[in-house]
Amino acid sequence: ASQRTLSIVKPDAVAKNAIGEIISRFEKAGLKVVAAKMLHLSKEQAEGFYAEHKDRGFFGDLVGFMTSGPVLVQVLEGDDAIVKNRDLMGATNPQEAAPGTIRADFAQSIDANAVHGSDSPESAEREIAYFFGSDEICPR
């Protein structure tokens, strides 16, 4: 069934000028960009987005990294978009990411891991609403 998921091209991949190559992988896999914007997240925005991780030891580094430069946030739409996006991304730790995945090809560390993608329908709904109003999403 058609689903939506939130995707973020993280500061490391934006700095590498890899936005286009990453979006190209989504499009080639049949996912459509239905919303997109570039943002330089504030500390408050990053902390709120990653609130579920606030008690983890890596939270400070995660927020520091996600506010270190601009990101591209997008809504992707398509059949099984959530799982399809996670398959394209590969494992969170790029050292464990399968060959040919976005993280294997563009990421260098578990923090600087190129992309974020929603991990469930519930988080997709929350994460999309965190960044986009319904008037900013263009179904296609």
Q: Rounded to whole angstroms, how far apart are CA atoms 46 and 40? A: 10
Tell me whether residue 39 or residue 138 sits nearer to ligand CMP (CB atom).
39
Candidates 38-46, 76-84, 109-117, 131-139: pick the segment binding ligand CMP (CB under 6 A): 109-117
86 binding ligand CMP? (CB under 6 A) = no
Residue 116 a catalytic site member: yes
Which two structure tokens, joined as six digits, stand for 125?
């709904």
92 binding ligand CMP? (CB under 6 A) = yes
Name beta bridge partners: 128.
Answer: none
Q: Rounded to whole angstroms, how far apart are CA atoms 81 and 98? A: 19
25 binding ligand CMP? (CB under 6 A) = no
87 binding ligand CMP? (CB under 6 A) = no
Q: Residue 103 in contact with residue 114, Cβ under 8 Å?
A: yes
Q: Residue 13 in contact with residue 117, Cβ under 8 Å?
A: no
110 binding ligand CMP? (CB under 6 A) = yes
Tell me whether residue 60 or residue 100 sits nearer to ligand CMP (CB atom).
60
Query: Is 131 known to sit in a ligand binding site?
Result: no
Tell me whether residue 11 or residue 78 sits nearer to ligand CMP (CB atom).
11
Query: Is 103 known to sit in a ligand binding site?
Result: yes
Q: Rounded to whole angstroms, how far apart are CA atoms 50 and 39? A: 16
Which two structure tokens, joined as six digits, stand for 89?
């991304």
Q: Residue 4 in contact with residue 124, Cβ under 8 Å?
A: yes
Name beta bridge partners: 2.
Answer: 79
Q: Which residues are catalytic?
A: 116
Q: Show binding-site residues for ATP.
A: 10, 58, 86, 92, 103, 113
Q: Which residues bind ligand CMP (CB under 6 A)?
A: 53, 58, 62, 92, 110-111, 113, 116
